[in-house]
Amino acid sequence: MQQFWTDWGDLIWTGTIQTLTMTSIALLISTLIGLPLGTLLVLTRPNGRLANRFVCGGLSSVINVIRSIPFIILLFFILPFTRFIMGTTIGVQGVLLPLIVFTAPYIARLMESALLEVDRGVIEAYEAMGISTRKIIWYVLIREARSSIVLGLTIATIGLIGATAMAGLVGAGGLGDIAYQYGHLRFEPEVMYVTIFVLILLVQSIQSFGNRLAAKLKRA
């Protein structure tokens, strides 16, 4: 046991940090894109506050198209675009853009369904009080949906962790890469087991943190 940690401890630790870094940066940026898009979807849908068939339909199709592509294919498919934007296609920098392109539309959908749960009556009540749409979005729509938003983001985070396993293919490292490199190619099953165990631990703690936060935000 002692020996195992001396041999592999650093590697697994580095991998964990890499996975967490990729996940958190990609999650942050994807949320900044996905939440407004989800809100836009809700506002522009028929009978929405800013009903607009073209915006809603167009945005919805784009999201569907991107979401149809599996991450591993997306990763290669948008290589030229990645190089153009990020200046490189390898390492953490090279994988961030594909991760965001993959996750933002997913988050947009998750946010859309969270926001749709908000009772229209409350929104109408605030409209009747002369409060602007902009304020209603933030202080009513997003506030009332916050518990579901947190649950949605928890799901997205776990999805992201899964996607980062593919990041090894462009040399970005991470736990998934270690499991593949050492467990599969070099036949060090212990490394794979430990890596998988760390992944399980991560996913478990993120999910229970998300659940607890959501319950707290729900408040009655």
By CB under 8 A, residue 203 contacts another protein: no
Choose the stretch contacting another protein; rule: CB under 8 A; options: 63-71, 100-108, 123-131, 192-200: 123-131
Residues 37, 60: contact at Cβ < 8 Å? no
Question: Which is nearer to another protein, 6 or 47 (by Cβ)?
Answer: 47
d(CA 61, CA 70): 16
Nearest distance from C-beta of residue 151 to another protein, angstroms? 14
Instruction: Tell which one of 47, 80, 130, 187 touches another protein (CB under 8 A).
Output: 130
By CB under 8 A, residue 128 contacts another protein: yes
Q: Report in angstroms the alpha-carbon separations of 51 from 56, 126, 155.
A: 8, 18, 29
Nearest distance from C-beta of residue 47 to another protein, angstroms? 11
| Ranges assigned E (strand) in 22-111 | none
Instruction: Tell which one of 53, 135, 184, 186 touches another protein (CB under 8 A).
Output: 135
- Residues contacting another protein: total by CB under 8 A: 23
Residues 89, 171: contact at Cβ < 8 Å? no
d(CA 42, CA 25): 26
Contact residues for 73 (Cβ-Cβ < 8 A; gap 6+): none
Instruction: Tell which one of 2, 3, 47, 132 touches another protein (CB under 8 A).
Output: 132
Q: Report in angstroms the alpha-carbon separations of 160 from 71, 94, 116, 144, 203.
A: 10, 15, 24, 26, 11
Residues 82, 93: contact at Cβ < 8 Å? no
Instruction: Tell which one of 122, 155, 196, 203 touches another protein (CB under 8 A).
Output: 122
By CB under 8 A, residue 147 contacts another protein: yes
By CB under 8 A, residue 93 contacts another protein: no
Q: Report in angstroms the alpha-carbon separations of 202 from 180, 198, 206.
A: 18, 6, 6
By CB under 8 A, residue 218 contacts another protein: yes
DSSP code at position 211: H
Nearest distance from C-beta of residue 56 to another protein, angstroms? 18
By CB under 8 A, residue 143 contacts another protein: yes
Nearest distance from C-beta of residue 22 to another protein, angstroms? 32
Nearest distance from C-beta of residue 115 to another protein, angstroms? 14
Which positions lie near another protein, rule CB under 8 A?
119, 121-122, 124-132, 135, 139-140, 143-144, 146-147, 217-220
